[in-house]
A and B are shown apart, each in its own frame.
Chain A
Amino acid sequence: NAGVTQTPKFRVLKTGQSMTLLCAQDMNHEYMYWYRQDPGMGLRLIHYSVGEGTTAKGEVPDGYNVSRLKKQNFLLGLESAAPSQTSVYFCASRLAGTGGIQYFGAGTRLSVL
């Protein structure tokens, strides 16, 4: 049982390049989340999904897009990367009806030069 798997683990981009971060969970969870973590800022919610085919904006959605075509996958896209998007990105999933218990992936470290 792998839990929540994020790929890639590390990436370096140049300003203006695009990329997609993949999150996969094998726990059949309904809810999935994308966060970014910056020093002194804690975890901030970018986008989330409450089910296949549905997405919603979180606290800091600008510059990101998401898709959830399959229940087990949640993709985070950066169309035109900016240095301000340098961060550690975490994906999480949660089973409906379990309060605030989220399961996190190991993170993706992204640097935008």
Chain B
Amino acid sequence: QKEVEQDPGPLSVPEGAIVSLNCTYSNSAFQYFMWYRQYSRKGPELLMYTYSSGNKEDGRFTAQVDKSSKYISLFIRDSQPSDSATYLCAPDRGSARQLTFGSGTQLTVLP
């Protein structure tokens, strides 16, 4: 079983839709939960992160972590075509801060 499981999609939504992207993990030691966005043929870039359980909001994006169920979510409100990318969840695994990446969910927002 992988440490981090992520639905690979692809996910296609119309512009303006609310998008929900999700991951589950198995390692209870994870404390930081990162979301990276990767455009086609580019390197990943950090979108946002949360520490421990709870919600964090940044503009149209909300990251949510439920450590009791080991569930990570990213919500995108009023989705835009420019949000079309692959989204990678990445819990922080330990003292060397090695990230464990999910396989990524490919999102397409149709105009």
A40 to B2, CA, bound (A): 12
Q: Which residues of B contact A35 (CB under 8 A)?
A: 101
Contact pattern, A 80-113, Cβ under 8 Å of B = 1, otherwise 0: 0000000000101010000111111111000000
Contact status of A40 and B46, CB under 8 A, knowing A45-B98, A58-B98: no
Contact status of A104 and B45, CB under 8 A, knowing A40-B8, A48-B96, A99-B32: yes
Are the C-beta atoms of B43 and A100 separated by less than 8 Å?
A: no
The SS class assigned to the A binding surface is strand
Are the C-beta atoms of A102 and B46 separated by less than 8 Å?
A: yes
A10 to B6, CA, bound (A): 29
Contact status of A40 and B103, CB under 8 A, knowing A48-B98, A100-B32, A107-B43: yes
B interface vs A, CB < 8 Å? 4, 6, 8, 32, 34, 41-46, 49, 51, 88, 90-92, 96-99, 101-104
Are the C-beta atoms of B43 and A104 separated by less than 8 Å?
A: yes
Whether A43 is near chain B, meaning CB under 8 Å from some CB there, is: yes
Q: Which residues of B contact A4 (CB under 8 A)?
A: 43
Rounded to whole Å, the gap between the CB of B70 and the closest CB of chain A is 17
- Pick the contact of B49: A92, A101, A103 (CB < 8 A): A101
A interface vs B, CB < 8 Å? 4, 31, 33, 35, 40-45, 48, 50, 56, 58, 90, 92, 94, 99-107
Are the C-beta atoms of A42 and B88 separated by less than 8 Å?
A: yes
Q: Which residues of A contact B32 (CB under 8 A)?
A: 99-100
Central interface residue in B32, B44, B49, B92, by most chain A CB within 10 Å = B44
> Could you name 16 residue pairs across A and B whose Cβ atoms are closer than 8 Å?
A31-B96, A41-B103, A43-B44, A44-B101, A50-B96, A56-B96, A94-B97, A99-B34, A99-B49, A100-B32, A101-B34, A102-B46, A102-B99, A104-B45, A107-B41, A107-B43
